[in-house]
Chains A and B, each alone.
Chain A
Amino acid sequence: MEIIVCIKQVPDTAAEIVPSPDGAGIRSEGIPWVMNPYDEYALEEALRMKEAHGGTVTAICLGPEGAEATLRTGAAMGADALIHLCDPAFEGSDPHAAAKALAAAIKGLPYDVIWCGKMAVDDYSGYVGTALAELLALPHVSAVVKVEVSDGKVCVQRETEAGTAHLQMPLPVVLTAEKGLNEPRYPKAIDIMKAKRKELQTKTAADLGLGAGEVGAAGSATRVTKLEKPAERGGGRVIEAPAAEAVQQLVAALQQEAKVL
Chain B
Amino acid sequence: MAGELLVVAELTDGSLRPVTVELVGEARRQADAAGGSVGVAILGDAAPHASSLGAYGADRVYAMPGAERGTLSALEALVREVQPTAILCPATAFGSDVAAGLAARLGAGLAANCLSLEASATGLLQKRPMYAGKVIATVETLVGPNVITARPRVFAPGIPQEGRSAQVVTREAVAPRPHEAVVELVKLVKAERTELDVSEAEIIVSGGRGLGGPEAFALLRDLAHVLNAAVGASRAAVDAGWMPHAHQVGQTGKTVSPRLYIACGISGAIQHLVGMSSSQCIVAINSDPEAPIFTRCDYGIVGDLFTVVPALIQELKRAGVGA
Contacts and interface: CB of A to CB of B under 8 A. Distances in A.
B142 to A, nearest CB: 6
Given A127-B103, A169-B184, A247 B312 contact: yes
A107 to B, nearest CB: 15
Interface string B245-272: 1101001110000011000000001110
Given A124-B130, A141-B183, A260-B259, A248 B110 contact: no
Given A161-B93, A230-B133, A127 B112 contact: yes
A142 B93 contact: yes
B236 interface: no
B140 A96 contact: no
Contacts of B180: 139
A7 to B, nearest CB: 16
B111 interface: yes
Q: Main SS of chain B's interface residues?
A: mixed
Given A160-B94, A167-B183, A243-B303, A221 B269 contact: no
A166 B186 contact: yes
A238 B294 contact: yes
Given A246-B303, A260-B280, A229 B136 contact: yes
Contacts, number: 269
Contact of A169 (B111, B136, B139, B183): B183
A17 B96 CA distance: 25
Interface residues of A, number: 85
A248 B139 CA distance: 45
Contact of A170 (B101, B130, B182, B302): B182
A126 to B, nearest CB: 6
B125 to A, nearest CB: 7
Interface string A1-20: 00000000001011011110
Interface in B170-218: 177-180, 182-191, 197, 199-200, 203
A206 to B, nearest CB: 22
B133 A163 contact: no
Nearest to A25: B135
B298 A247 contact: no
A114 interface: no
Contact of B296 (A26, A165, A235): A235
Contacts of B248: 179
Contact of A251 (B138, B139, B319): B319
Interface of A: 11, 13-14, 16-19, 26, 37-38, 94-96, 99, 121-127, 129-131, 133-135, 137-143, 145, 155, 158-170, 178-180, 220-230, 233-240, 243-244, 246-248, 250-255, 258, 260-261
10 contacts: A96-B109, A121-B132, A131-B104, A155-B186, A160-B93, A165-B185, A230-B277, A233-B277, A235-B297, A238-B299
